[in-house]
Structure 1
Amino acid sequence: MIDFRYHLVSLISVFLALAVGIVLGAGPLRENLGDQLAGQVEQLRTEQEQLRTEATDLSARNDQLASFIAELGPDLVAGTLDGAQVAVLTDDRSTRPGIDRLLGLLDGAGAAPAVRIGLEPALWEPGQEPARAAAVEEIRGIAPAALPGDPDGTLTDAEQLGAVIPALLRPADEGELTAELRSQVWQVLRDQQLITVDGELPAAVDAVVYASAAPEALADANEDEAEATARAQGLLAVQTALLRTLAETSLPAVVTAATPGNDASTGILRTVRGDAAFDALSTTDRLQEPDGPLLAVLALVEQLRGGAGAYGTTADAQDRLPALPETEGLVDGAPEQDGADQDAPVDQGAGPSDGGGQG
Structure 2
Amino acid sequence: MIDFRYHLVSIVAIFLALTVGIVLGSTVLEPAFYKSAEETTSSLRQNNGNYLSQISELQTRENGNDSLVTAHLSDLVRGALPGERVVLVEAPGAPAGLRDPIEDLVTDAGGVFAGRVSLTDKFIAADQEAIVDGLANSLAPLGTKFPDEATPYDKAATVLAGAIVTNDRTMAGRENPTAMGVLDAFQSAGLLSMNGAPGQRSTMAIVLAPAQAYEDENAVEATDAVVSVAAGLDALDLGTVLAGTTVASGAGGAIAALHDTGEAASNVSTVDTVDMAAGRAVVVYALREQLTGRSGAYGVGSGSTSFEPEAAASPSPAARG
Short-chain TM bin: 0.7 to 0.9
**Any residues of structure 2 matched to 1:14-163 within 5 Å, and which?**
14-27=15-28, 29-92=29-92, 95-129=95-129, 131-139=131-139, 142-145=142-145, 147=146, 149-151=147-149, 156-163=151-158
Residue by residue, what CA displacement relative to the aligned partner does 1:274-332 show, whole Å, maximum 9, x if unpaired?
666625433333545555533422332344343523215x577555x41555xxxxxxx
- The answer on 1:208 being equivalent to 2:205 is yes
- The answer on 1:13 being equivalent to 2:24 is no
Distance 2:308 2:225 in 1: 28
Deviation at 1:74, TM superposition (A): 0.2
Give the structure-2-normalised TM-score: 0.74
Q: CA RMSD in A?
A: 3.9
2:241–2:287 Cα contact (<8 Å) kept: yes
Residue by residue, what CA displacement relative to the aligned partner does 1:1-60 show, whole Å, maximum 9, x if unpaired?
xx6766664454344223223222322x44544443333222222211111111111111
Structure 2: segments with no counterpart, 5+ residues: 169-174
Counterpart among 160, 167, 182 of residue 171 in structure 1: 167
Identity %: 15
Residue number in structure 1 paired with 2:299: 311
Residue number in structure 1 paired with 2:227: 240
Distance 1:34 1:93 in 2: 52
2:86–2:206 Cα contact (<8 Å) kept: yes
Between the two proteins, the alignment pairs up a number of residues equal to: 305
Q: Which amino acid aligns with 1:210?
A: V
Distance 2:155 2:266 in 1: 22
Structure 1: segments with no counterpart, 5+ residues: 173-177, 220-227, 326-353
Residue by residue, what CA displacement relative to the aligned partner does 1:193-225 show, whole Å, maximum 9, x if unpaired?
4334432535562x3211123238x89xxxxxx
Distance 1:7 1:181 in 2: 101
Q: Which amino acid aligns with 1:24?
A: G
2:88–2:207 Cα contact (<8 Å) kept: yes
Distance 1:284 1:264 in 2: 12
> Which of 71-80 and 105-114 deviates more?
105-114
Residue by residue, what CA displacement relative to the aligned partner does 1:159-191 show, whole Å, maximum 9, x if unpaired?
53235444664538xxxxx95334465565455
Residue number in structure 2 paired with 1:350: none
